[in-house]
Structure 1
């Protein structure tokens, strides 16, 4: 390399979905979104509500603002906080690095002050009591008291692989007790268009189950046409 890259790069133009698009995901379960995207969309199951979701809200939705940190780094997250807008979800990529905090209580307090809706990272966090006091919903891969660095390099407003899935700034993030789901920017309207039908199907099946339904018509059909067989 002839010249060292900047320690921190912040994208000049940040793509964000409209307020109407973001609002369509309020209180939508993550499972509905995966159903609308062919059964996919969730980050790795290691990324869960901090503390098991016992002390903080366990549903958040908003546009992703991606902070692409290196392992044990937070410089990009610092840059994301600098440009964050109310309702953004800061997504901190530390490339799956463990045994080091990707954010702590003061960082969460500052994000809350800025109006950030939630924090998601494939790394760990620390200062759990202080994070609870700050009140910022957070999803992470566990806890570690070790301190991170802020040396860079880092990039803000672009994309990164987080929890095994590419997340781009401007994608919709929806997180709940089941995990974190990413709706790619290009699919937002298509997913929104399916939500009412998915809700109706879910409500119909819920009502049937509550009324005692316990049949498996698909298995009955397979037994009837020979694709399944009962054997001794």
Structure 2
């Protein structure tokens, strides 16, 4: 017989990036962050800005506080509100369940009241007009009016798997209209160190394209040294 789990499990000893580390990601496009991680780090494209970012400025950079919920449940997400540090991005896992909302406008309002910077989930949200009124950046898989339950069990402050990636509390979340990127806590400094170089390369290429550059593969040179053969 399986023993009944506790209703909620909360990890209180949580790592968190420094304010300087957090600031280093503010205003940085998600594409730059992925490039600094060798082209990876983004959650599945199904997790996108609510309303495609039409009505809310969906841009955020902050530490993850995770809430791991069972399908159709949001008890851990509600509990996580108590543990929010201002600037945190609440990552509310819904076990990928699409049959009901992972949260709605009241949860977004309470998260904003606690100082949360944004919300990320692998489920839909509900109460779009109310969420727009709250104005908190949010990323989800879509919208549904179906309601979740709050029965548990769930966990807060540990880790959650969503969008094809493992997210641990303290990882950096960098998100914009292109999507959500997760920077593992252990890699934060290494990624920050690479961001300046990535930005320099990106801006240089932008300038070249504006001047008319249109041959990124240098086809003529590839033909000359036989890397490319025309038949």
Task: Tell me which interval the TM-score lies in, with the shorter structure as reference length.
Answer: over 0.9
Specify the alignment match of 1:61 in structure 2.
61
> How many residues are aligned here?
231
Post-superposition offset of 1:5: 1.2
| 1:83-98 correspondence to structure 2 within 5 Å | 83-98=83-98
Specify the alignment match of 1:210 in structure 2.
210
Post-superposition offset of 1:227: 2.7
| 1:183-198 correspondence to structure 2 within 5 Å | 183-198=183-198
Specify the alignment match of 2:157 in structure 1.
157
Q: TM-score normalised to the size of structure 2?
A: 0.97
Alignment deviations for residues 162-191 of structure 1 (CA, whole Å, 9 cap, x no partner): 101110000000010110000000000000
Cα distance in 1 between the residues matched to 2:37 and 2:223: 30
Q: TM-score normalised to the size of structure 1?
A: 0.97
Cα distance in 2 between the residues matched to 1:58 and 1:27: 12
Seen in structure 2, the aligned counterparts of structure 1 residues 2 and 214 have a Cα distance that, compared at 3 Å, is closer
Cα distance in 2 between the residues matched to 1:87 and 1:214: 41
Cα distance in 1 between the residues matched to 2:42 and 2:223: 33
Bigger CA drift: 182-191 or 202-211?
A: 202-211
Seen in structure 2, the aligned counterparts of structure 1 residues 200 and 176 have a Cα distance that, compared at 3 Å, is same
Cα distance in 2 between the residues matched to 1:43 and 1:182: 7
Cα distance in 2 between the residues matched to 1:226 and 1:15: 53
Post-superposition offset of 1:2: 5.2
Cα distance in 1 between the residues matched to 2:208 and 2:36: 22
Cα distance in 1 between the residues matched to 2:155 and 2:227: 52
Cα distance in 2 between the residues matched to 1:38 and 1:219: 25
Post-superposition offset of 1:226: 2.1
Q: Which consecutive unaligned segments of at least 5 residues does structure 2 have? A: none
Specify the alignment match of 1:140 in structure 2.
140
Cα distance in 2 between the residues matched to 1:203 and 1:223: 29
Specify the alignment match of 1:13 in structure 2.
13
Specify the alignment match of 1:26 in structure 2.
26
Bigger CA drift: 209-218 or 196-205?
A: 209-218
Task: Please provide the CA RMSD for this pair.
Answer: 1.1
Cα distance in 1 between the residues matched to 2:155 and 2:162: 14
Cα distance in 2 between the residues matched to 1:33 and 1:153: 34
Give secondary structure in 1 for the equivalent of 2:3: coil
Specify the alignment match of 1:181 in structure 2.
181
Cα distance in 2 between the residues matched to 1:54 and 1:207: 28
